[in-house]
Amino acid sequence: MSSLNRETPSLFLRNATGLVKGWSGFDAFTYSFMSVNLVTLGMYFSFLYVSSAADGSMISSIVLSGVAVTFLCVAYAGLIAVMPRAGGDYVWQSRVLDGIPGIVSGAVMVGVGGYLVGTAIGGSSLGLIGGIVGIIGGGALGYLKGALAFVLAATGWWFILAQWAPIYGSILRVEFLQPLAALIGWSGGVSFFSTANGSFVTSLIVIALTTALVSLGMAGYARIQRWSLWIGLVGLAIMFILMLVSSQTDFQNAFDRASSSLFGVSGAYNAVVAAGAANGNTSLMPFGIGSGTLTLIPFMMFWILYPNWGATLYGEVRGSGDFKKVLRGMLGGTWVTVILAVVFLALAAKTFGWAFYSSTGAQVYSATPVIPIWGYPPLLVSFLVDNRIFQIGMVVIFGAWFLGWSGTLFLSSTRMIFAAAFDRVLPEAAARVSDRGVPTVALALIMVPSIIVSAIYAYWTPFVQWTLDASLVIAVMFFGTAIAATILPWWKPKIYENSAMARYKLAGIPLISIAGFLTVLVLGWTIYQWLENSIYGIGVGTPSSIIYLGVLYGMAIVVYVAAWLYRRSHGVDLSAIHSEIPSE
């Protein structure tokens, strides 16, 4: 057996993590399915903005995105089968990206980052200097075993996840709070949740809800998640049936009737279509392949990139060493969602009319919106039944999609923080667990920054423009893990050969390496598009957002170097720790 598989008790905080295997394979699938959430992320975070691209097929782009993410699923399932440990990306990168691969990866990633930051601050000349400094510093970072992994994972699973709190809050606002306020006739509530105070209050609600769910422990949260899944699917079935049996004329009449009743707006349907046409947003068709289809894929990646969101949790999933079992969960989360998304879009084109649906986002963010809230699809469909109780019930039932998804805000993050503390990089208190197996200090370390970031988001407008950096940073972290998956069989053959994953090959080449390499290509292209193409939103790739990212990654570097110096002064060798696989 490899020395990497022999635990050295003196290196880690204790002989066992104290975490409990509280999830079944089905629970892992549910988490994956909720992470690529059709309702909270698909309908809002991706579908809302695709009207910016013309002559593209949404359905084709979704299917192609599903194929691309399949490679990611195979790579991650393979890594889980080899090392099913709490911490996921951090553990795999810190145990694989050392030596020459670590130095090269660090030099390339930090070099590119240095160039981008330098260019953002002072143009191409300073960018060149920043790139050179970044290559040297990144190489040094890669030389310190575990340093590159901590920087990528801490920024991806910790620092940037605090920025997701107001994003979750924004989704709760437009998909639950404002629709309910409108339906019960509380016009003041509709207005309040659009203000800075309303934004902060909503984020605090999300933070409190998520903290409570994570505090239940893995088993407790799994029960909430399962109920959310079944209730959410019932709501989706009702919605699809209503869309199937209703005509576009039925919907137009229902929307005009509801808009007049709720907002005092006459002829709202045609006004929404006209608002979209004025902004050039009605040319995007749901079928056929046009030149804009590839342009749409990075939009889809904002939503569908996360079936591996539970990767940090697989130290607490029963049977996680079974590659096929893990892969089924992730692929199920991806492709069930893809199928439901295609059905939804086909029905939306039929029932809403594509010109109307592709205009709903444009109208609410225009200077003179037709109606004061976003056209949340379940709310729109509920108008087909002229009964206020039914309409409220639809919004409440669809709230299960948010409830089952909300725990993803903190749950995965706590395990990365826990794993880094177990490796003695972070303070030992962050590795404490409660009787329910909850790392309570780690939970506090993500909860408190989320409150601070939510306040900044609510009261400082420029910060809102950096929202999409949340996806960018996570994609960069996945990129690093994809590199680790690609080189694992060649660079760490003893670890690989001692796992069941070693028997999965294609034409003699390890399947995990093939999937990892293809994932590197997909993520590299996606990241480049997000940075270079302004169509993907305000914030990504702008000078201010690049500087902001530089600050986040710089903070992670400072934390690791400080930990390395502190532990070294106390006779603890972090490189030796990162040469061992942590215990379960």
**Cα distance between residue 381 and residue 42, in whole Å:** 17
* 460 pLDDT more than 80: yes
Q: How confident is the model at residue 45 (pLDDT cuts 50, 70, 90)?
A: confident
- Say what the pLDDT of residue 509 is: 96
Q: What angle do CA 120, 125, 130 make, to 5 degrees?
A: 65
- Say what the pLDDT of residue 156 is: 95
Strand partners, 509: 506
- Say what the pLDDT of residue 209 is: 97
Q: Please provide the distance, in angstroms rounded to a whole number, between the alpha carbons at the two ends of the chain.
A: 17
The mean per-residue pLDDT over the stretch 449-459 comes to 96
Q: How confident is the model at residue 32 (pLDDT cuts 50, 70, 90)?
A: very high
Please give the mean pLDDT across all residues of the chain.
89
* 361 pLDDT more than 80: no
* 543 pLDDT more than 90: no
Given phi > 0 = left and psi -120 to 50 = alpha, else beta, which region is 350? alpha
User: Torsions phi, psi of 432, nearest 5?
Assistant: -70, 145
The mean per-residue pLDDT over the stretch 347-375 comes to 84
- Say what the pLDDT of residue 468 is: 74
- pTM of the predicted model as reported, rounded to 2 decimal places: 0.93
- Say what the pLDDT of residue 518 is: 98
* Least confident stretch, 37-51, 272-286, 321-335, 438-452: 272-286
* 245 pLDDT more than 50: yes
The mean per-residue pLDDT over the stretch 390-397 comes to 97
- Asked whether the beta carbons of 545 and 530 are under 8 A apart, the reply is no
CA 381 vs. chain centroid, Å, equals 27
* Least confident stretch, 338-347, 349-358, 400-409: 349-358
User: What 8-state DSSP symbol labels residue 88?
Assistant: T
* Least confident stretch, 284-298, 448-462, 482-496: 284-298
Amino acid making up residue 581: I
Q: Who wins on pLDDT, 230 or 574?
A: 230
The mean per-residue pLDDT over the stretch 125-149 comes to 93
- Say what the pLDDT of residue 7 is: 43
pLDDT in tens, 206-217: 999 999 999 999
The mean per-residue pLDDT over the stretch 235-252 comes to 97
The mean per-residue pLDDT over the stretch 388-405 comes to 97
